Amino acid sequence: MSSVALQQSLRHLEAGFVNFYNKRAGYPKFHSKKNGGSASFMGTAFRWDGKSLRLAKMSEPLHVVWSRTLPRKARPSSVTVTLDPAGRWFVSILMRETIPCLPACDKTVGIDLGVKDFAILSDGTKIPNQHFAERNQKRLKRAQKALSRKQPGSRNRRKAALRVARINAQTRDRRRDFLHKLSTRIIRENQTIVLEDLSVRGISRRVRAVEAPDTGRYLCNGQARKRGLNRSILDQGWRELRGMLEYKARWYGRDVVVIDRFYPSTQLCSACGAKTGPRTLDVRRWTCPECGMRHDRDVNAARNILAAGLAVRACGDSRTRKTAEQLASVRLSGKQETRPVRNGILRL
């Protein structure tokens, strides 16, 4: 083994303890390598000639299937080799690259994330749910059942665990591929993207459910929740999509606005701004009692999210009292009246 990789592991350990003593992180944990690990090669511990990669003490280059074309005259600063639980090897090369910004456009979009449809855009476009985990659910169930029958520590148990890991890796790869394509499409088509600050852990928290009589549904905190809702929420990848949009927006010169998670986007009418109160999940369409506008629940929420995000972007964080007072004093051009402020965010 190269001494550079061993020394780098000690540097990672040192960084973990420094973060712990400075109260930036918890006590470092020593991770088991039975499900895979990684080794980092710095500086002189590898050779890159623009086409092939040789690690320290290797006479022949690595046989690599490249996922992308590296920039010309690239000068890598480090190489990390990783083994995942599914038995696949990966090589990550760190280098500097200048990414040109995309041409500016005037399109804006609000995104409401859901379970029935993965994402609903403010222009009415609905991105269907892909059901990544559901595709492999039967295979995974059989593989996990076979794993539970194997003797701990045996070779057959390692083989069964590898089958389970490969099924999970396929589900994870499908989800990541879908999220990358969707986030890139949204970034390329829009200048400003508005999202909600969702708490996935809070939404998917398992609460004690009581079955309602003669309905086959479960009552949780006064609302009917169907079986498997938590599994569907965790299968979506909402937080991963937000992270991709944020770093791609920094790359390509776009803006991502995240509004408060308690903003009542489903309770407001996007046409007149009237607050009509909460609704259960089974109500997908409703009519505003003030203006009579017929709304699709998710599209209306996406439009409210967009309006709130544009107000926050123009006037700052609307959750503060000072900004709320500023929003309340804003008058529309051409009309000598003040728009109402609902929950601290101006209705546009």
Collapsing DSSP to helix, strand or coil, 129 comes out as coil
Q: Of 196, 214, 296, 317, which residue is the catalytic one?
A: 196
Confirm if 241 and 249 have CB atoms less than 8 A apart: no
Q: Of 112, 117, 197, 325, which residue is the catalytic one?
A: 112
| Residue 296 known to be catalytic | no
Q: What are phi and psi of 92, to 5 degrees?
A: -115, 125
| Residue 235 known to be catalytic | no
Q: Of 197, 260, 298, 325, which residue is the catalytic one?
A: 298
Alpha-carbon distances, residue 230 vs 170, 206, 235, 261, 341 (angstroms): 21, 7, 9, 19, 34
CA distance 42 to 80: 9
Region of 73 on the Ramachandran plot (φ > 0 left; ψ -120 to 50 alpha; else beta): left
| Residue 117 known to be catalytic | no
CA distance 46 to 72: 18
CA distance 18 to 221: 43
Of 107, 262, 122, 265, give the one whose Cα is nearest residue 189: 107
CA distance 258 to 195: 5
Confirm if 318 and 344 have CB atoms less than 8 A apart: yes
* Residue positions annotated with a catalytic role: 112, 196, 298
